[in-house]
A and B are shown apart, each in its own frame.
Chain A
Amino acid sequence: MADVIWVYAELSDERVSPTTLEMLAKAAETGKAEAILLGPAPDDAPATLAKYGASKIYRCADPVYRDYLTLPAAQTVAELIEKHRPAVVLFASSYGGRDLAANLSARLDCGAISDVGDFTLKDGSVEATIPALGASYLNTSTLVGSGPKLLLVRPKSFEPKVNEQPLVIEEVAAPADASLRKARVKERVAVRREGPQLDGAKTIVSGGRGLKGEENFAMLRELAELLGGAVGATRAAVDAGWVPYAMQIGQTGKTVKPDLYIACGISGAVQHLSGMKTSKYIVSINKDPDAPIFQYSDFGVVGDLFKVVPQLIEELKKRKGA
């Protein structure tokens, strides 16, 4: 009998998150994929999960999972795991996914591996590949002990795949325990994002500390627009307050995998590289010839980005006009 692999489904922008669909593809390829869907979700969410490979969905639409942090969901998932004993449970390496997996690991006294890029399952033993220390190393790790195997999967590690399954839903009950309702979400604030989004962008133009200030991101926006792409940033640029966190690419931000990544004034800290180095083509512009980003670039220009980028913009306008 195929191993049962669970995927904890997450919503982003009111739909099943891309990482959830990516994990389902891998789960279905490795064994029998099943999904857990907790909290109010769009009507078509279960059908989407089944379309992408979930042969069964454990669902509870109770708002307790949306209104309270971590604890109610952890209680429900722990009970489900103990009852059904899946071989592996996959979570996205997201805000909620990490909190939930951490709680379950301590609650069930089992291991959890973070930042998994790939995994295999053989005879009940899991082997996970993890880009460690900002992706400058590649580990393989396993989990020992009789408990469930919890894996936190990096976004963009797998390709989502349509793998139509009949829609089978098992309703589960929400926990009634009032002590789980300690941390309440009072308000959800969406920060307005302009222009094309990083998720799924084919081209990304990204800026780092070398941009020197918020105002200089305008130049990157113009370049991105000409290429039909999105604008990203390093943690240094975000921490400096030049651009919002939603634009951050790297270990603590988004993982991206565009066809083209143009790095402007980015030295190439390992944390940033780990979020973008699987881009198909990397072009970089930096004043420092020893910047690590050049080791990962298909084409690099050692030079002043304030001269190179405007020239590139002019050149693109010229060629587009021609």
Chain B
Amino acid sequence: MNIVVCGKVIPASTVTIEIDPATKRMVRKGVAHELDPAAACAVEEGLRLVEKHGGTVTLITMGIADATIGIRNALAMGATSAVHILDDAVAGSDTLGTAKVLAAAIKKQPFDLVLCATESSDSYSGIVPGQIAFLLGVPPLSFAKEIAVEGDRITIKRQSESGFDVVESTLPALVAVSSGINEPRYPQLKGIMAAKKKEIKVYTAADLGLSPDQVGEKGAKEKVLTIGRPPKRQAGKIVTDEGDGGRQIADFLAEIKVI
């Protein structure tokens, strides 16, 4: 089975994210990047399915040149190949623009299953998977915490407000996985060496048949008007426990009339 994983490469967790006031976008240049941990779960799930059923895992990412580090990570984990959409014309895309780019790139690959994270760990919008699924004409299955494939059918356990739903669908389908579905493997030296020889196709928006008014900032339907820091909460009282921390909390609870 051919699995395509859409994965975002985001500023590393050690980076304090800054916003460029002029573009109102995250500052990405010169910042350390990594494969989004949520996307790593999708890659891991793809690898596990391929280990069981055979096939390929192709990572598709859209992003800046620094994204290569995240792509290499997925390849070192075991992904077969990767596609990198690298073009200034796609910068500043909103969720729908992003979905259009990714769906166009997916259509260039043979696929039975598309996997992605339910939401990326930086922007958390959580709607790109559903948009991609519509553009591909496949059913969207999201919030998956377990996946099983049998023949041309896929069954997932889908997180629900009260527990979980067991959902069954035909393939091809798109599944967005919840973080915590698995523990992504660490790339081993052998995998890291092998990754160097694996193919990374690079596409521009034009290669995907997308015009500049469909994607990027120009095509975005969502426009950021302002961005700033929310008002700071007034500083409270912080004490160091010297054997009476619990009692001091009780005093505070009495003060605010909780007890």
Residues of A within 8 A of B (CB): 12-13, 69-71, 74, 93-95, 98-103, 105-107, 109-115, 127, 131-145, 147, 152, 182-191, 203, 227, 235, 238-239, 245-246, 251-252, 259-260, 262, 271, 277, 281-283, 285, 289, 294-304, 307-316, 319-320
Contact B163 A144 (CB under 8 A): no
Which are the 5 A-B pairs with shortest beta-carbon distances? A102-B130, A303-B241, A311-B246, A111-B221, A312-B246
Specify the chain A residue showing the minimal Cβ separation from B122: A133
CB distance from B59 to the nearest CB of A (A): 22
CB distance from B220 to the nearest CB of A (A): 8
CB distance from B234 to the nearest CB of A (A): 8
Contact A301 B164 (CB under 8 A): no
Contact B168 A184 (CB under 8 A): yes
0/1 per residue, B217-229, Cβ < 8 Å to A? 0001111111111
B99 within 8 A of A: yes
Q: Provide the residues of chain A in CB contact with B233, threshold 8 Å.
A: 277, 295-296
Docked complex: B239-259 residues within 8 A CB-CB of A = 239-241, 243-250, 252-254, 256, 258-259
B68 within 8 A of A: no
Contact B167 A183 (CB under 8 A): yes
Specify the chain B residue showing the minimal Cβ separation from A147: B221
Given A111-B96, A190-B163, A259-B258: A299 in contact with B237 (beta carbons within 8 A): yes
B148 within 8 A of A: no
Contact B223 A144 (CB under 8 A): yes
User: Interface size on B (CB < 8 Å)?
Assistant: 84
16 contacting pairs across A/B (C-beta < 8 A): A101-B130, A102-B130, A132-B123, A133-B26, A138-B227, A140-B227, A141-B224, A183-B169, A188-B160, A203-B258, A246-B162, A259-B258, A307-B246, A315-B246, A315-B249, A316-B250
Q: Provide the residues of chain B in CB contact with A315, threshold 8 Å.
A: 246-247, 249-250
CB distance from A318 to the nearest CB of B (A): 9
Q: Provide the residues of chain B in CB contact with A191, threshold 8 Å.
A: 162-164
B67 within 8 A of A: no
Specify the chain A residue showing the minimal Cβ separation from B124: A251
Q: Provide the residues of chain B in CB contact with A312, threshold 8 Å.
A: 245-247, 249-250
Contact A186 B229 (CB under 8 A): no
Given A114-B95, A183-B167, A315-B250: A95 in contact with B221 (beta carbons within 8 A): no
Instruction: From A136, A187, A304, give the contact of B229 (CB < 8 A).
Output: A136
Contact B127 A102 (CB under 8 A): yes
* A-B contact sample (20 more), CB < 8 A, given A110-B96, A311-B246: A99-B140, A102-B126, A102-B129, A102-B133, A112-B95, A132-B123, A136-B229, A137-B227, A139-B24, A182-B138, A182-B139, A182-B169, A183-B139, A188-B165, A191-B162, A289-B238, A299-B248, A301-B249, A308-B249, A315-B249
Q: Provide the residues of chain B in CB contact with A145, threshold 8 Å.
A: 221
CB distance from A109 to the nearest CB of B (A): 7
Contact A109 B96 (CB under 8 A): yes
Q: Provide the residues of chain A in CB contact with B243, threshold 8 Å.
A: 307
Specify the chain A residue showing the minimal Cβ separation from B252: A299
Contact B246 A314 (CB under 8 A): yes
CB distance from A59 to the nearest CB of B (A): 21
A69 to B131, CA, bound (A): 14
A13 to B139, CA, bound (A): 26
Specify the chain B residue showing the minimal Cβ separation from A262: B249
Q: Provide the residues of chain B in CB contact with A74, threshold 8 Å.
A: 134
Docked complex: B22-63 residues within 8 A CB-CB of A = 24, 26
CB distance from B19 to the nearest CB of A (A): 6
Contact B224 A114 (CB under 8 A): no
Specify the chain A residue showing the minimal Cβ separation from B162: A190
A227 to B95, CA, bound (A): 43
Instruction: From B167, B180, B239, B256, give the contact of A185 (CB < 8 A).
Output: B167
A214 to B167, CA, bound (A): 29
Q: Provide the residues of chain B in CB contact with A132, threshold 8 Å.
A: 123, 227
Contact A111 B142 (CB under 8 A): no
Specify the chain B residue showing the minimal Cβ separation from A303: B241
Q: Provide the residues of chain B in CB contact with A147, threshold 8 Å.
A: 221
Q: Provide the residues of chain B in CB contact with A189, threshold 8 Å.
A: 163-166
Contact B245 A303 (CB under 8 A): yes
Q: Provide the residues of chain B in CB contact with A252, threshold 8 Å.
A: 118-119, 124, 178-179
Contact A95 B252 (CB under 8 A): no
